[in-house]
Amino acid sequence: MRSSGGKESRGITPNRLSLKRVQEFLADQPLVIGKELLFFASVDSTNTMAFERAAGRSDGLIILADSQTAGRGRRGRQWLSPSGSNLYMTILMKPSLLPEDAPILTLMAAVSATSAIKNLTTIPASIKWPNDIMVGERKLGGILTEVKVRGNQILWAAIGIGINVNITAKRFPEDIRPYATSMRHETGRVQSRTLVVIEILKELDSWYRILLAKGKEPLFSRWLIESSTIGRNVRVTVGRASFVGVAEGIDDTGMLMLRLRNDSIKKISSGDVVLLREATA
Ligand code: BTN
């Protein structure tokens, strides 16, 4: 655990999720996202709830919950979601993107969450492709983007963001304890969930506007800066197959470009990345 603290919590009671404060922030800002916010003390999953509440909503509905009873991670994994400590939020968006461009939304949320954490604290957060928010080799948060498609268009995208804010190490199950961390654990002090929510929404709104106005280039450049994957020797597991090589970059749909030992490039749309210490050559 690092001893350096986060920045001042600006008069907000640490850990209490102040809905009022989030609503005031949303009312004060002409944001594209967040015209409506729904808060639940407990839901099965904020992503599921977002789809259930999608009918008739505009772009940018926010679903925020204090706890989830069936929080999901990628590949059907469970996402630990106890009450009173972490952040579970889904933004429902109607982007005019093709279904194959959906990973861009994950990259956008990962950039936004990482930037927000760095704006608020001295935590050296980085992104492990495609959706992990990391501190070194420990996971601090993750993004789960799920889409409903009609024809060749995304009808709705639920961008789910989970950040371990104040959970203590002893509350992680033993099998994930060595690989998980929280903002509190990293800074040695309780962090304001309210400020984390607000900062992520600010960043997300700003990156969404940039995406709409300038396309994906600026977002991809920033993703590369925040990434801890690119340039590294990695093993990528895709189902039962695994590939070892150098992560060279991402293509224009967010697929990982892996240079294999035979020097060919393999593009991977989804998989689990392990950073390798040894050279692969
Ligand atoms: C992952 O790293 O596998 C993705 C984790 C995503 C967790 C968040 S918490 C809010 C939203 N609701 C869910 O059920 N999952 C996402």
What are the pLDDT digits (tens) for 176-212? 999 999 999 999 999 999 999 999 999 999 999 999 8
Q: How far apart are CA 229 and CA 232, in angstroms?
A: 6
- Ligand 1 within 6 A of 46 CB? yes
| Residue ranges of the chain with per-residue pLDDT less than 50 | 1-12, 280-281
- Ligand 1 within 6 A of 144 CB? yes
Q: What is the pTM of this model?
A: 0.92
Contact by Cβ (8 Å): 266, 245 = yes
**In angstroms, what is the span from residue 160 Cα to ligand 1's centroid?**
5
Dihedral sign, CA of 38, 42, 46, 52? Answer: negative
200-224: b or e for each residue (b if 16 or more CB lie within 10 Å)?
A: bbbbbbebbebbeeeebeebbebbb
Contact by Cβ (8 Å): 193, 105 = no
Mean pLDDT value across the chain: 91
**In angstroms, what is the span from residue 17 Cα to ligand 1's centroid?**
18
Nearest CA to ligand 1 atom 16: 160
